[in-house]
Amino acid sequence: MDITMLGTGSAFAKKYNNNNALIEHEGFKLLVDCGITLPRALHEAEISFSELDAVLISHIHGDHVGGLEEYAFQMMFVYGRKPVLYIAETLIEPLWEQTLRGGLTQEPLVALDDFFEVRPLKEGVTNELHPGVTVRLLQTDHIPGKQSYSFIFNDRFFYSADMKFNGELLQRLESEGIETFFHDCQLLSPGAVHASLDELLTLPESLQSKVFLMHYGDNMEDYIGRTGKMTFVRQGQTYTV
């Protein structure tokens, strides 16, 4: 399958769009996260919301869900249908109650499933989203008290949510057959709620060669050549995984 990074920036980046992606396989289009900058990023890529088959959400932060209100309204009032929303079952209530309820509610539309065809996902279960595209959710640490789920696609591609460094997990996933890692990266230390570049550089070089860095700050260019065997993911570029 192909993955195009519609944005590669951190929550505070201005040069780069929010870290959101588009996965495609045989005409199927899956949006991975839908942040504040996503509507404009889609517009610049000449893609309409109606062309998307579904959206998959990792966690409830604005740079990952801030574009869902426009997505819902456009699909309802412009295109006349509900978009498919894949989301961990534990995130359904907080997404509505803590994020979308205030903006979307208008009688008689008062629930998440009034706007989306909600398809709950359980952690650790392999789900077929489309022939040739499977996903398995893996809860990873980010903010205390806020659940966040990274994704394993087709049992060989790891796509991190925002997550703290966990070298033991990454090495275990490699041993289980993961071939490519797209990992969020905070360029300056300490990482706190993200893996820092310094932490990721402690990984074995054999694993580093499989790691592509995303969710970085606007000063990314200053770090080119300073990432060991790892490579920066580039905004707008398509990768086959």
Residue 159: CA count within 13 A, CB half-sphere = 27
So what's the pLDDT on residue 223? Answer: 98
Backbone torsions φ then ψ of 232, nearest 5 degrees: -75, 135
So what's the pLDDT on residue 126? Answer: 98
180 three-class SS: strand
- CATH number of the domain that residue 218 is part of: 3.60.15.10
Instruction: Of 52, 49, 30, give the one whose Cα is nearest residue 39.
Output: 49
Residue 161 has a CB neighbour count (10 Å cut-off) of 25
Phi-psi label, residue 208: left if phi above 0, alpha if psi -120 to 50, beta otherwise: alpha
Q: Which structural domain range is residue 151 located in? A: 2-240
**pTM more than 0.85:** yes
So what's the pLDDT on residue 21? Answer: 98
So what's the pLDDT on residue 65? Answer: 98
So what's the pLDDT on residue 80? Answer: 97
39 three-class SS: helix
Domain count, the chain: 1
- The counts of H helices and E strands in the chain are 8, 14
Q: What is the mean pLDDT of each run of 10 residues along the chain (241 residues)?
A: 98 97 98 98 97 98 98 97 98 98 96 98 98 98 96 98 98 98 96 96 98 98 98 98 96
